[in-house]
Structure 1
Amino acid sequence: MIRILTSGERKMVDVAAGAATLPADAVWIDLLSPTRSEVQSVEKALGLELPTHEEMLEIEPSSRLYQDGGATFATASLLWHSDSETPEMSPVTFVLGERVLVTIRYGEPKSFSMFQVLAEKQGVVCQSSATVLLGLLDAVIDRLADILERCGIEVDRISKDVFGRATPNGRIHTPTHAYTDTLQRIGRQQDIVNKARESLVGLGRVVGFLTISRQPPLDKAGREHLKTLSRDARSLTDHAAFIVTNINFLLDATLGMINIEQNQIIKIFSVAAVAFLPPTLVASIYGMNFEFMPELKWSLGYPLALALMVLSAVVPFLYFRRRKWL
């Protein structure tokens, strides 16, 4: 799909793949999952060689950040589908030319649709290819900030769930499925935050490369904007690292709670075994088949043995309760 934003109409319009010319006031060409014919039509119209999907997936800095044909090429992997159960990463290439900005993407980050709505409402971001790029990067970073904020709130909720399960007497009774759900929630937040952090690192490299780039040149306001974006990316990266630290702590705490729960179960079985050991001993003694046992002919021997077994079980139980082992 080829969509073009013009500075005159300020509206994204679809363009056929066979179009050989572009509108004179085009400032942004957005290629969403383009076919080979669509890429070739844009290359022919601009006189540039655009990277393929396989080239966009390469991780070498020289393959992601370079200049060619009077344009600056910068690729970053961006997070999308963050609201779903399966967040994904997708490479996005920004090609900044003197007159037009080209974006190549095979995913649909929400920040792009948000910026398209903003661009159609505010003409200031449609003045040139540079202003479109800066506005788009700003929208991407703002979206990542919202995602991290939402993750931070969810981590706080998980923390309250993990440490708020104790009953008034201090005991913890949590079903297995609750711990399973907690571990799944922790894993999902870890996945989202790590992907958001990876996106911010990539954006930081893109912004840094654009800052030192002289092809095409940016005005003073544009360079100041890039510095602001760089600071925002760094601060959000630090915030993501802080959230990851909290998530790791919650993971350790949850596993610790599971160990405590398991230890309590094992303790109950251990106490029960110790409590029933004396009655078993008494029953074993009077179950021996010796011929000469004085109590065998005693009329009170049987009830006394039963009473002795009950007493030997109750005394350890009361002792354990007094020591708060149960």
Structure 2
Amino acid sequence: MILTFARGETHLHPLDRLPAQERPARLAQSLWVDLLAATPDECALVSATLGVELFSPDELHEIEESSRIFVEADAVNLICWLPSFEADVPVNLPVGLIADRNRLISMRQGDFHAFRTYAEPRRRSGLPRVDTAADMLVDLLDTIVGQLASTLRMVEQDLNALTTEIFADGESTRIGLRRAPGRRRRTSFRDLKGIVQRLGRRNALVSNLRESAVTVATIIPFIINNERHWAGPETVAQLKLIGKDIASLRDYNGQLAAEISFLLDSTMGLITIDENQSMKFLGVAALIVAFV
């Protein structure tokens, strides 16, 4: 699918809604061309119409920094990794960005939340503030960083809930058949196993967010150092601010990773204690049976 965003508009529009003969003109006047799981024919149309060489599927998965960020034909070519939540377990998928004086071109295989916000007409109200390709790129990066921050905040809230479950008071004062008000039941062995699984999923997500933050942090100084002639001082200042936000998110990510490690060690310790208590009970029961 090809999505386009022209100057003066407020959101992305699918190109296939236009007649075939009008599509080249629409591409030529677009400020942002977004290729979402585009077919080879769609990629060929964009490449031929705009005279730009797009990333191949293999190039999008390059891991060397020199292959992920470079300048070619006065355009910056950038590849970053963003978390996709389309599957049960979030995975990182590559996103290719090509920006020059005229437009921004993005290539992606996943429906990322940061991009999805631009497909909604309510994304912005009033006059649009994006008028250049540099502004569009900065706005997109800012949205990506905001989504990373929101996801980390969600992980933190889930870890707080897990902390309460893991370290809940196990001694319940019973009144009849009911627990005393304000007291929690002891976390069972089965609950602890479920907590380990949840911690494992959160650890995978935090690792993916860390990788994503690293790739975004890498491309920002590259843009600043190589595109001052078209980015402008105001855009450069915004990029530096986004870079500071990414640095703080990486510190935040490290704190969450340490908390997950602590909770995982604590949970495994509780499981070991439960197993030892069960073995002691079985040993005493075996002795009683043996002497009866």
TM tier, smaller: 0.7 to 0.9
**72, 95, 99: which one aligns with 1:96:** 99
Alpha carbons 2:168, 2:187 under 8 Å: kept = no
Distance in 1, matches of 2:11 and 2:165, equals 47
The residue number in structure 2 matching 1:308 is: none
Counterpart contact for 1:43–1:49, Cα < 8 Å: yes
1:99–1:210 distance in 2 versus 1, CA, 3 Å: same
Residue aligning to 2:12: 12
Match of 1:114, as an amino acid?
T
Q: 2:166 matched to which residue of 1?
A: 162
| 3-state SS, counterpart of residue 199 of structure 1 | helix
Counterpart amino acid of residue 39 in structure 1: C
1:257 aligns with 2:257: no
1:70-123 CA-to-partner distances (Å, cap 9, x unmatched) read 1101000100217x6221211101111111000111101111111344655354
Give the corresponding residue for 2:108.
Answer: 105
**Are 1:196 and 2:196 matched, yes or no?**
no
Q: What is residue 138 of structure 2 aligned with on the other side?
A: 134
> How many Å separate the matches in 2 of 1:269 and 1:251?
27
Q: What percent of counterpart residues are identical?
A: 27
Give the Cα separation in 2 of the matches to 1:139 and 1:220: 20
CA contact (8 A) 1:173 1:261 kept: no
Structure 1 equivalent of residue 227 of structure 2: 214
- Tell me the distance in 2 between the aligned counterparts of 1:9 and 1:245: 44
* Paired position in structure 1 for 2:77: 73
Q: Distance in 2 between matches of 1:213 and 1:22?
A: 29
User: Whole-Å Cα distance in 2 between the matches of residues 5 and 53 of structure 1?
Assistant: 24
**RMSD, aligned α-carbons:** 2.3
After TM superposition, the score normalised by the length of structure 2 is 0.87
CA contact (8 A) 1:29 1:100 kept: yes
Segments ≥4 residues shifted beyond 6 Å: none
Number of positions where the alignment pairs a residue of Structure 1 with one of Structure 2: 276
Higher relative contact order (CA 8 A, sep 6+): 2
Contact 2:85 2:112 in 1 (8 A): yes
Distance in 2 (alpha carbons) for counterparts of 1:276 and 1:86: 48
Give the 3 Å change call, closer, same or farther, for CA 20–267 of structure 1 in structure 2: same
- The verdict on how the C-alpha distance between 1:46 and 1:215 changes in structure 2, with shifts beyond 3 A counting, is farther
Where does the alignment leave 5 or more consecutive residues of structure 2 unmatched? 174-184
C-alpha separation in 2, matches of 1:23 and 1:162: 55
Q: Using the alignment, how far apart are the partners of 1:100 and 1:176 within structure 2?
A: 57
Distance 2:165 2:11 in 1: 47
Match of residue 280, structure 2, among 256, 259, 267: 267
C-alpha deviation, 1:150, in angstroms: 0.4
**Structure 1 portions without partners, runs of 5+:** 284-326
Change (3 A) 1:228 1:215: closer
The separation in 1 between residues aligned to 2:186 and 2:27, in whole angstroms, is 67
Pairwise CA distance, 1:22: 3.8
